[in-house]
Chains A and B, each alone.
Chain A
Amino acid sequence: MHSTLHITQNLTVKDRILAIGTQVSITRAIFMPTPYRLSFDHRFNFMLQQIIDPITEHLPENNRLERIWKLAQIDFKRRYYNDRLGLLWALINPLFRITIYFIVFSRIYNNNTDNYILFLFSGILLYGVFSEISKGGMTVIKFKRYLIENIQFEKVDLFISQAISVFLGFIFNMIVFFSVALAMGANLNANVIFFIPVLISLFLISSSVAMIMATIVLYIDDIRHLWDMIVFLGFWSSGVIFKVDKLVEWIPAILYLNPFIGLLTNARAAIVYGTPPDYFMMIYTLLFSCAMMAFSVWLFHRNEHLILEKS
């Protein structure tokens, strides 16, 4: 451990990048065993940069976008790097939960949903993104206080970059998802492109809930319990692990009150069943999420001066 520290410190940055570029494949870089963890940081950065640099080269230089991206990157690192298994945790948790739900709902209760394991997998991954981003909203102010105290900038960026960092982890989950889907013979076709509006809505809804949470935290400290309840309610009313047909028959209005019903239905149409989406619900969910975003930005701006005063 100490020797690694020494070596990486004595190398110049250029040497290090050259060494990384020639020796390490992407898979090895991700699943690097523990003794190499110190250099993992640089390997992963380098890997990300190889993917991102060609894209950003063609974009105009924009200070704000760069900043959001940088904050997302370091947030992503903070989330996974200090753990022994690093990114693997992003996979282990959902896989574990899927196994449990799968056993309960296919072996213990009879369940005749088509392709149930993918149905479940997609639901849990998408809902997991929401719960992680909205949970982060309660702490992002605390973690980034060092910036808020000293520099004037648009604080909404903090929430957006936090959401992007969760999406970065989500990309790895989706790679696993698509591998499983292909192996299990899911019907993947051109309808996959309708997954994009789903992701946009998911991003907007999650970051606006994060902002609303951050605002409430300014007034009430123990909002965590309320958040637990909201996430629990959402989990059981959005059809993460079962079809919502009966629920919607019983309370028709819930289709419009809970954007996740439409979101998950369309997500599954796109990436599990390969059928065209429910266009009405797609547009409704997009509009709903934009409205939510506008509301939460307004709410947050109205209260942001309380950050230093109350926390």
Chain B
Amino acid sequence: MSENETIIRVKNLSKTFHIREESVKSIRHLILNLRRLRSKQHRIQALQDINFEVKRGEVIGIIGRNGSGKSTLLNLIMGSLKPDKGSTIETSGRIIRMALGMGFDPNLSARHNIYVNGSILGLTFKKIGSIFYDIIDFADLNDFIDTPLKFYSSGMRSRLAFAIAVHAQADIFLMDEFFGGVGDANFQAKSKKVFESAFLDKRTILFVSHGLKNIVDFSDKVLLIDRGKQLAFGPPKEVVKQYQKLMK
């Protein structure tokens, strides 16, 4: 667990999606088209030759236009997609991905969702029990503990997601438009404070954001992707300038 240990190493990473033009996957279709299947495939190169390394405790911002492959990159790092042959992704430790309304089941109450998420994030029930009311208090949901999440407003949901995330035990955090604060101004101020003081400390974070201010303020390095290609990886201010040029 040395300070300078490389925690994510991405080398020659490419990802191609094979999409069939007719997306119907039925038994009849399979039998009738057994021979033609391969030729009909449509290829989409989502990412091409991405290379970077992340050290423990670094905060990396990822920017790029819509559809440039940012979320695909997060999915690949998390291991839920398989990269093309020849690519290497090495990660060490537990990874979680946070997006608004992350692993929540809308039919379950906040209580159950906290237990399920906490447990999957590696906490024992004892530990969850001891921080349960901290999470509820932080998210300001005292009156709605046993209400199914489908009746929550989106603000309440993201507050809960954020509150759980702050308590989560993981080595690498992937954040999709989740960085900084969520909710109303009041909660945003509160969460920003916690975020800066407690959360950022010694955690490895990769975050996708369109908020350039957050990128410049918080990240140590920034990765710029455009149409699946890596345009830059370096100090925030320079890369953001390059991105702004690209947008013009």
CB distance from A216 to the nearest CB of B (A): 10
Q: Mark A10-38, 1 if CB is under 8 A from B, else 0.
A: 00010000000000000000000000000
- The reply on A147 being an interface residue by CB < 8 A is yes
Kindly list chain A residues whose C-beta atoms are within 8 Å of the C-beta of B145.
13
Contact A220 B26 (CB under 8 A): yes
Interface size on B, residues (CB 8 A): 41
Contact A150 B27 (CB under 8 A): no
Contacts known (A9-B143, A9-B146, A305-B82); A220 close to B25, Cβ less than 8 A = yes
**8 A Cβ contacts from B68-92 to A:** 75, 78-82
- The reply on A71 being an interface residue by CB < 8 A is yes
Kindly list chain B residues whose C-beta atoms are within 8 Å of the C-beta of A220.
25-27, 30
Q: Which of under 10, 10 to 19, 20 to 34, or 35 or more describes the interface residues of A?
A: 35 or more
Which of A121-129, A190-198, A221-229 participates in binding chain B?
A221-229
- The reply on A153 being an interface residue by CB < 8 A is yes
Q: Mark A181-221, 1 if CB is under 8 A from B, else 0.
A: 00000000000000000000000000000000000000111
- The reply on A83 being an interface residue by CB < 8 A is no
Contact B146 A8 (CB under 8 A): yes
Kindly list chain A residues whose C-beta atoms are within 8 Å of the C-beta of B79.
152, 305
Kindly list chain A residues whose C-beta atoms are within 8 Å of the C-beta of B27.
220, 222-223, 225-226
- The reply on B200 being an interface residue by CB < 8 A is no
* Chain A binding surface SS class: helix
Kindly list chain A residues whose C-beta atoms are within 8 Å of the C-beta of B97.
149-151
Kindly list chain A residues whose C-beta atoms are within 8 Å of the C-beta of B82.
305-306, 309
Contact B78 A66 (CB under 8 A): no
In the complex the two chains form, what is the Cα distance from A41 to B17 in whole Å? 44
Contacts known (A67-B120, A74-B108, A153-B120); A308 close to B99, Cβ less than 8 A = no
Kindly list chain B residues whose C-beta atoms are within 8 Å of the C-beta of A63.
119, 122-124
CB distance from A165 to the nearest CB of B (A): 13
- The reply on B121 being an interface residue by CB < 8 A is yes
- The reply on B95 being an interface residue by CB < 8 A is yes
Contact B103 A78 (CB under 8 A): no
Contact A151 B121 (CB under 8 A): yes
Interface residues of B (CB under 8 A from A): 17, 24-27, 30, 75, 78-82, 94-99, 102-105, 107-108, 112, 115-117, 119-126, 143-147
Q: List 27 A-B contacts (CB under 8 A).
A: A9-B143, A9-B146, A9-B147, A63-B124, A66-B124, A66-B125, A67-B119, A74-B105, A146-B102, A146-B103, A146-B104, A149-B80, A149-B97, A150-B97, A150-B98, A150-B103, A151-B96, A151-B102, A151-B120, A152-B78, A152-B80, A152-B96, A219-B30, A220-B25, A220-B27, A221-B25, A305-B79
Q: Which 7 A-B pairs have the closest CB atoms?
A: A305-B82, A67-B119, A150-B102, A147-B103, A221-B25, A150-B97, A150-B103
Interface residues of A (CB under 8 A from B): 8-9, 13, 41-42, 61-63, 66-67, 70-71, 74, 78, 82, 146-153, 219-223, 225-226, 305-310
